[in-house]
């Protein structure tokens, strides 16, 4: 593991130390663990010292689009040279280029270095290099660091946001289908986060502009956002304590006879890394479901979350062999369904999932608050067609 001494330039460390009031020492821990350790020991101090004056110096925290347990990175200011000139030590002879680069430039991740190789940003002895190319010692390397979109400040964008409730501490939003919540690979602009920064620039001081939980791009419904660090901390604690009430309406394939509870761990699919799956040793995940309305070949369910894993309802219902209508990621093969109903269900272009109900304790007043929003038009029209077919089928 790289030591903290390798992580930042001296100017960046001084800035970070000054902001946090810390004395950093070189320790053999990862960046993620070092940051988590700092957060654990200094969380009370952060809350006490929180003011709007920290906007200029607060480190930017990046969280992956998975869930609140994802790895953290602190991006600190540093002077990045336009190019780096390196000489491969003789003792690195026989290594692949990417392995040698990881040793020569430990302040960058191996995946970042491999991206630079693929983009032609690294040359060896004057020629464009390849990742699996061998080095034998003595080669001259030229590296042109290229910024990653994730390293850039988030930009405020004028994006329509359907605000259900707002006060000085929180925002409650009815997210439409198609809106990505947080910037990530392939979606660096046009997200809810960008819209929040335009709606209230002061939210830029709060990590991830106050976002504490997510909905998938094609899932509609209620989402709460914190407007201050204190509110964000309180909401995260409620999520961790599983006291936030989150209820969804979902149209699932199959004629489900009774409600139930799914308690199965979820993690990345072992071979298809863009999917999630029930995985032994994964993160705890609990979903409760009850029947709202039954139809030939499908069932409208109310799903209540205890935990909030990525794709949780979608994965758990697929695990029960009742995947959500329109969920092309988790549907496996043809679903048993009357022909006329099958045609309508197959025509629905997204997962039939809507976050209908949200309840939480207000982070400032302690008052219990609840909100509810109707399904969007596309799901309402789908159910109208399903009910018509069900009526004709009887």
Catalytic residues: 216
- Which residues, 6+ apart, have CB-to-CB distance to 269 below 8 Å? 275, 276, 277, 279
The rounded distance, in Å, linking the Cα atoms of 384 and 181 is 29
On whether the CB atoms of residues 197 and 153 are closer than 8 A, the answer is: no
312 neighbors 269 (Cβ within 8 angstroms)? no
Which DSSP string do the residues of 96-118 spell out, in sequence order? BHHHHHHHH-TTS-HHHHHHHHH
Q: How far is CA 387 from CA 108, 217, 219, 232, 295, in A?
A: 56, 27, 22, 42, 7
Q: Which residues contact 4 (CB under 8 A, 6 or more apart)?
A: 24, 25, 26, 27, 29, 31, 34
What distance in Å separates the CA atoms of residue 180 and residue 191, rounded to the nearest whole number? 5
């Amino acid at each position: 593991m790289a030591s903290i001494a390798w992580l930042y330039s001296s100017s960046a460390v001084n800035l970070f130390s000054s902001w946090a009031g810390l004395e950093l020492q070189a320790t053999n821990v990862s960046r993620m663990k070092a940051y988590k350790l700092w957060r654990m020991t200094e969380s009370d101090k952060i809350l006490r010292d929180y003011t709007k004056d920290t906007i200029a110096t607060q480190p930017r925290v990046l969280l992956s689009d998975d869930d609140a347990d994802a790895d953290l990175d602190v991006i600190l200011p540093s002077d990045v040279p336009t190019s780096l000139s390196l000489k491969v030590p003789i003792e690195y002879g026989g290594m692949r280029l990417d392995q040698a680069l990881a040793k020569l430039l430990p302040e960058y991740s191996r995946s970042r270095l491999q991206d630079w190789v693929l983009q032609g940003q690294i040359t060896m002895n004057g020629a464009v290099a390849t990742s699996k190319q061998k080095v034998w010692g003595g080669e001259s390397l030229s590296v042109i660091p290229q910024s990653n979109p994730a390293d850039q400040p988030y930009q405020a964008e004028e994006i329509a946001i359907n605000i259900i409730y707002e006060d000085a501490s929180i925002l409650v939003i009815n997210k439409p289908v198609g809106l990505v919540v947080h910037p990530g690979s392939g979606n660096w602009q046009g997200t809810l986060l960008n819209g929040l920064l335009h709606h209230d620039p002061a939210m830029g001081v709060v990590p991830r502009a106050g976002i504490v939980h997510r909905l998938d791009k094609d899932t509609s419904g209620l989402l709460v956002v914190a407007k201050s660090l204190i509110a964000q901390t309180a909401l995260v604690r409620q999520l961790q304590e599983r006291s936030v009430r989150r209820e969804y309406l979902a149209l699932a394939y199959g004629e489900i006879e009774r409600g139930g509870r799914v308690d199965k761990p979820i993690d990345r699919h072992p071979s298809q890394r863009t999917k999630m799956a029930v995985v032994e040793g994964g993160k705890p995940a609990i979903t409760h479901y009850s029947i709202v309305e039954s139809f030939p070949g499908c069932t409208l369910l109310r799903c209540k979350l205890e935990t909030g894993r990525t794709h949780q309802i979608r994965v758990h219902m697929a695990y029960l062999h009742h995947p959500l209508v329109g969920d092309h990621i988790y549907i496996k093969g043809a679903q048993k369904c009357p022909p006329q109903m099958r045609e309508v269900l197959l025509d629905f272009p997204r997962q039939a999932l809507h976050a209908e109900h949200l309840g939480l304790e207000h982070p400032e007043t302690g008052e219990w608050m609840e909100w509810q929003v109707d399904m969007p038009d596309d799901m309402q029209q789908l159910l109208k067609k399903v009910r018509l077919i069900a009526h004709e089928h009887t």
